[in-house]
Amino acid sequence: MTLYDGFINQIFGLLPQNGKTFQYEKSPLKEGDKNSVLLLRDTAYELGGSQKPCVSTTIVSSSFEFDNSVRLFGKDLSEIHEDCPFAKIVLLQIEDIDEEEAFDKIKELEKIRYIFCPEGFMTRASALSLREQIRVGKKAIRDGVSFKDYGNALIERYSQHPLVKSVSIIFLTEFSRFDSLLLICDKIKNTTSALNHILDNLLFDCASCNLKSICDEVEGMKELHMKKR
């Protein structure tokens, strides 16, 4: 699975130089109940809240090897005092999978963001808008929880999936290029839609297909549809 590799390189090219990197350590955070609600009165602030720039994506590759690290660009949780811009990028090295099962497996991995949230946080994610806002509880701040802890909890959760070989989690809370990142994340979503279109064996007519721009950009898409035909 190398369809998304070009986008991973584009994201790496966008990231600033001044980030912090934390190598994986066991997270002190416990998995919360996925239905638990963090009320506003118990919330310190919301990452991506108040209509601040916000985007989240999960990208898979079988050719990249990640270092199970958490990278942070911008302020850490204890340094934030109000709703702020937020981006979360999950990079997953996976076993090489057959194209036939790729769409379902990618969806399975993407779903983890809707079902996993550590205690003291509440995630509000939308597949359509690509936003993922995270309420951060006052207690989590009092307990000194950091992005390193949150990211390590994510690494542990993704690593439980049998396909996942290595992980990298990237958080951004200060970033001047959210618009460019949003554009790449949108293309990633469209690539997955094109994959679904191809695997469903829908009409092979590039001239009238609304996914043409993505198939023009992503190496291997047209060949895949041709082969499927």
Q: What residues make contact with ligand SF4 under the rule CB under 6 A? A: 194, 197-198, 204-206, 209, 211-212, 215, 221-222, 225
Strands 86-94 and 164-172: antiparallel
> 172 or 211, CB closer to ligand SF4?
211
d(CA 228, CA 202): 10
Burial-class residue 205 by CB neighbours within 10 Å (0-12, 13-18, 19+): exposed
Nearer to ligand SF4, 173 or 192 (CB): 192
**Closest distance between ligand SF4 and the C-beta of residue 177, in Å?**
28
Q: State which H helix or E strand residue 210 sits in.
A: none
Spatial contact of 169 and 88, defined as CB atoms under 8 Å apart: yes
Taking CA atoms, 94 is separated from 8, 151, 219, in Å, by 14, 18, 19
Give min distance, CB of 191 to ligand SF4, in A: 10
Q: Which residues 6+ apart lie within 8 Å of 29 measured at CB?
A: 118, 119, 120, 145, 149, 150, 152, 153
User: Which residue, 161 or 228, has its beta carbon nearer to ligand SF4?
Assistant: 228
CB 3 to ligand SF4: min, Å: 12
Helix (H, G, I), strand (E, B) or coil at 223: helix
Tell the smallest beta-carbon distance from residue 1 to ligand SF4 (Å): 17
Residue with smaller CB distance to ligand SF4, 33 or 205: 205
Which of 15, 209 has the CB closer to ligand SF4? 209
| Minimum gap (Å) between residue 198 Cβ and ligand SF4 | 5
How is residue 96 written in tokens? 């090489």
Pick 98 or 205: Cβ nearer ligand SF4: 205
- Tokens representing residue 43 in the block: 């919330």
Q: In angstroms, give the least distance from the CB of 95 to ligand SF4.
A: 25
Rounding to the nearest 10 degrees, give the CA dihedral for residues 110, 114, 178, 182.
Answer: 50
